[in-house]
Amino acid sequence: MARSMWRGAIQFGLVTIPVKLYLATEQGGIGFNLLHASCLNRIQMKVYCPYHDEVIPRSETVRGYEYAKGKYVVVTEEDIDSVPLKTVRAIEIEMFIGASRDAAGTQFVKQAYYLEPEQIGAKAFYLLKSVLAEQNKSAICKIVLKDREQLAALNPFSTTMLLTTLHWPDEVRSMEELSLPEDQIEIKASEKKMAEQLVASMTGDFSADDYADDYRQALMAVIERKVAGEKPEPQARAEPTNITDLMAALEASVAAARTERSAEKAAGSGKPAKATRASRAKKAPKADAEAEEAEAPRQRRRKTA
Amino acid sequence: MQPMAGVAPFDDPRYLFEPWWPGVRALAWIDDGRLVRLQAEGLADALTSFAELADELPGRLMDDGVVLDGWLLALDEGGWLDSDLLRRRLAGDRAAGRPGFVASDLVWSGGEDWHGRRFAARRARLEAVLLDGDRCVVSHALRGEGTLLAEALARFGLGAISARRLDARYRFGAAGEGWLRVPIAPAEITERPRLALIQRLPLEESDTG
pLDDT by residue for chain B (209 residues), tens only, comes to: 778 887 788 899 999 999 998 889 999 999 888 998 898 886 667 888 898 999 888 988 888 889 999 999 998 877 788 888 998 988 888 888 889 999 999 999 988 899 889 999 999 999 888 888 888 999 988 899 998 888 888 777 788 999 999 998 887 777 777 888 998 865 443 333 333 333 333 333 333 33
β-strand partners of A161: A156
Segment A127-153, tens digit of pLDDT: 999 999 999 999 999 998 876 788 999
For chains A and B, what is the number of CB pairs under 8 angstroms?
Answer: 142
Average pLDDT, chain A: 78
pLDDT band at A101 (very low <50, low <70, confident <90, very high): low
Domain boundaries, chain B: 1-21+140-187, 23-138
Question: Which residue from B minimizes the CA distance to A290?
Answer: B121
| A198, pLDDT greater than 80 | no
Across B8-20, b (16+ Cβ under 10 Å) vs e yields ebbeeeebbbbbb
Backbone φ and ψ of B70, nearest 5°: -165, -155
Distances (CA, A) of B121 to A71, A191, B64, B109, B126: 79, 32, 17, 12, 9
- Are the beta carbons of B103 and B130 closer than 8 angstroms? yes
- Cα dihedral across residues A94, A100, A105, A110: positive or negative: positive
The CATH fold assigned to A7-25+86-170 is Ku70; Chain: A; Domain 2 (2.40.290)
The pLDDT of residue A280: 31
Which positions ≥6 away from B164 have C-beta within 8 Å? B15, B16, B18, B104, B105, B119, B178, B179, B180
| CATH value of B1-21+140-187 in 3.40.630.40, 1.10.1200.10, 3.20.10.10, 3.30.1490.70 | 3.30.1490.70
Mean pLDDT of A75-100: 80
Helix axes B146-156, A243-269, angle to 10 degrees: 120
CATH value of B23-138 in 3.10.20.30, 3.30.470.30, 3.90.79.10, 3.40.50.2000: 3.30.470.30
B25, B106, B142, best to mutate vs chain A, most A CBs in 10 Å: B142
Distance from CA of B126 to the nearest CA of A (A): 10
* Residue A216 amino acid letter: R
**Shortest distance, CA B182 to any CA of chain A (angstroms):** 17
Residues 6+ apart with CB under 8 A from B111: B64, B65
Give the residue with greater pLDDT, A277 vs B18: B18
Q: How far is CA A273 from CA A80, A262, A278, in A?
A: 98, 5, 11
CA-to-CA distance for A42 and A33, rounded, in angstroms? Answer: 7
Q: Where are the domains of chain A?
A: 7-25+86-170, 47-81, 244-268+297-305
C-alpha A138/C-alpha A103 separation (Å) is 10
Q: Per mean pLDDT, which range of A42-51, A240-249, B107-116 is the poorest?
A: A240-249
- pLDDT at position A247: 80
- pLDDT at residue A122 is higher than 80: yes
How sure is the predictor about A48, in pLDDT bands with cuts at 50, 70 and 90? Answer: very high
Query: What residues of chain B, 28 to 67, have a C-beta less than 8 Å from chain A?
Result: 41-44
What distance lies between CA A107 and its chain's CA centroid? 14
Report in angstroms the alpha-carbon separations of B43 from A188, B20, B71.
9, 20, 13
- Whether B25 has its CB under 8 Å from any CB of chain A: the answer is no
Residues A214/A219/A225/A230 CA torsion (nearest 10 deg): 120
Q: Which chain B residues are within 8 Å of A286, Cβ to Cβ?
A: 124
In whole angstroms, give the CA distance from residue B6 to residue B165.
13
Q: What distance in Å separates residue A233's CA from the closest CA in chain B?
A: 22
User: In the prediction, which pLDDT does A285 show?
Assistant: 35
